DNA sequence: GTAACTGCAAAATATTTGCATCCTT
DNA sequence: AAGGATGCAAATATTTTGCAGTTAC
């Protein structure tokens, strides 16, 4: 049987390995964003730290996941839900960070609003980070 | 003669030292955001790396500067233009990163738009990061 | 003079690279 | 079998901490 994670990997011309499957599963199973350390914990330290770095980097390059800008400058990753392609990531995204439980949500469905920039600034990509209280708190 | 930077420091109950004056000057003289490494370079490595870390941290705590969320997770700092007070930073901000010259601008004057979040999400603070081409490129 | 700030050394963390071995195709 | 992926070791880079000496007030 071919699982969803296998498909995602194959579609991106990546060989299907234990670490990639497991890490990708974490993302599909979770609607929150994950930090490198979360992944280490949730995989039970089964994989080398270096492997996790390389796997995440590969996934970002392929457009499977993307990094989330955070105010405290921790590094967070979340699944790309739609048309992200290698190299360029389609990110008109809204991210939500809960002040209480500290989970970061990637709200792909929320439409990003327009902003009026000063003269001379030409916008291309926009990332929005909202913080507050989430639906589960 | 009392300079502006001196005033800012005094207003925040910080003693006026060389490093603090110089680093604060960099921020007031620049409309872009600064990374730790920028500060090292622009001060001509005159101050210890540790002093810069501590100075920046102090400024953030006092609400003189704030960190900017970046997609590539580098750590950037910019001046707070208005009513930021100790502990809590008033940040309905728009930040603009130029794809060309790579400068980050802190557009305090731009009004942040409203977004419609899914049920149960209560927004408090919103940070917007726009990238594209800036007025000088 | 005293409290606060700085610089140096070193510890703790985080990230990257090289290479030999193992696994996927 | 061949190319790519992993794990280990080690090199770098980044950030934090402790402490003694110096400076601002």
Q: Which residue has the tokens 């507050």?
A: A132
Fold of B4-132: Arc Repressor Mutant, subunit A (1.10.10)
Residue A108 pLDDT exceeds 80: no
Which of B31, B67, B69 has the most A C-beta neighbours within 10 Å, making it the best mutation to test the interface with A?
B69
Residues 6+ apart with CB under 8 A from A67: A60, A75, A76, A77, B71, B72, B73
pLDDT in tens, A13-63: 999 999 999 999 999 987 789 999 999 999 988 999 999 999 999 999 999
pLDDT on residue A37: 93
- Distance between the alpha carbon (CA) of B43 and the C1' atom of D15, Å: 20
pLDDT band at B87 (very low <50, low <70, confident <90, very high): very low
Domain coordinates in residue numbering, chain A: 4-132
Q: Is A28 on the interface with B (CB under 8 A)?
A: no
Could you tell me which residue, A8 or A71, shows the higher pLDDT? A8
pLDDT on residue A87: 47
Strand ranges, E, within chain A: 34-35, 65-68, 76-79, 93-98, 104-107, 122-133
- Distance between the alpha carbon (CA) of B57 and the C1' atom of D22, Å: 21
Distance from CA of A1 to the nearest CA of B (A): 35
Is the CB of A71 less than 8 angstroms away from the CB of B73? no
- Distance between the alpha carbon (CA) of A9 and the C1' atom of C25, Å: 14
Could you tell me which residue, A43 or B88, shows the higher pLDDT? A43
Residue B94 pLDDT exceeds 60: yes
């Amino acid at each position: 049987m071919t699982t969803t994670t296998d498909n995602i990997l194959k579609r991106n011309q990546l060989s299907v390995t234990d670490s990639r499957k497991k890490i990708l599963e974490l993302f599909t199973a979770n609607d929150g964003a994950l930090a490198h350390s979360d992944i280490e914990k949730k995989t039970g330290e089964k994989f080398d730290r270096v492997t996790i770095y390389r796997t995440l980097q590969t996934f970002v390059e392929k457009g499977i996941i993307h990094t989330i800008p955070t105010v405290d400058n921790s590094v967070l990753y979340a699944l790309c839900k739609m048309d992200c392609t290698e190299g360029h990531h389609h990110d008109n995204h809204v991210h939500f960070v809960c002040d209480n439980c500290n989970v970061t949500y990637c709200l792909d469905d929320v439409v990003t609003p327009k902003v009026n920039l000063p003269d001379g600034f030409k916008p291309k990509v926009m990332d929005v980070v909202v913080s507050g209280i989430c639906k589960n708190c």
